[in-house]
């Protein structure tokens, strides 16, 4: 027989033992996107409608390329965290784990592909 109260057993556990980490990463990425998205719209808007040569010359500069790469990467990591939380809440069992794995692979693939395309465009 255990002499721990329910409260003592529950302290520090959380619902899935990682809820605080997910919440904190979502808050940090939200603030980062709050800054990055307007910068991205401003930098992308300047290049919109240009020819291929003008676009490559524009993204060869470091500031627009870094802003675009950071926006793609942080946006996809924010998507990954949000979708994982949603899937953990609503899809259970093997299907839930498989959906989380596929969604994580998809988000990293989109982020890497976007940054790769940007690097190819800039160089």
Q: Read off the pTM.
A: 0.81
Q: How confident is the model at residue 16 (pLDDT cuts 50, 70, 90)?
A: low
Distance of CA 12 to the CA centre of its chain: 26
DSSP 92: -
| Residue in this structure with the two tokens 């794995």, named with its chain if needed | 101
Confidence of residue 4 (pLDDT cuts 50, 70, 90): confident
Q: For residue 22, what are its two tokens?
A: 């997910």
Q: How many domains does the chain have?
A: 1
CATH number at residue 84: 1.20.1300
Confidence of residue 93 (pLDDT cuts 50, 70, 90): very high
Could you tell me if residue 33 is inside a domain? yes
Which range marks the domain in which residue 118 is found? 24-122
The answer to whether position 114 is within a domain reads: yes
Helix (H) or strand (E) run with residue 46 in it? helix 19-47
Tokens 């307007």 -> residue: 38
Q: Is residue 8 part of a domain?
A: no
Decide if 82 is inside a domain. yes
pLDDT given for residue 74 in this prediction: 96
pLDDT at 5: 76
């Amino acid at each position: 027989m255990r002499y721990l109260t329910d409260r003592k057993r529950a302290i520090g556990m959380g619902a899935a033992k990682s809820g605080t980490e997910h919440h904190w990463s979502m808050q940090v990425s939200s603030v980062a996107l709050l800054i990055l998205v307007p910068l991205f719209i401003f930098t992308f808007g300047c290049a919109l409608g240009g020819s291929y040569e003008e676009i490559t010359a524009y993204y060869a500069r470091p500031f627009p390329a870094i802003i675009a790469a950071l926006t793609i990467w942080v946006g996809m990591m924010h998507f990954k965290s949000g979708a994982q939380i949603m899937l953990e809440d609503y899809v259970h069992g093997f299907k839930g784990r498989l959906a989380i794995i596929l969604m994580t692979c998809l988000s990293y693939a989109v982020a890497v592909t976007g940054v790769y395309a940007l690097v190819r465009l800039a160089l």
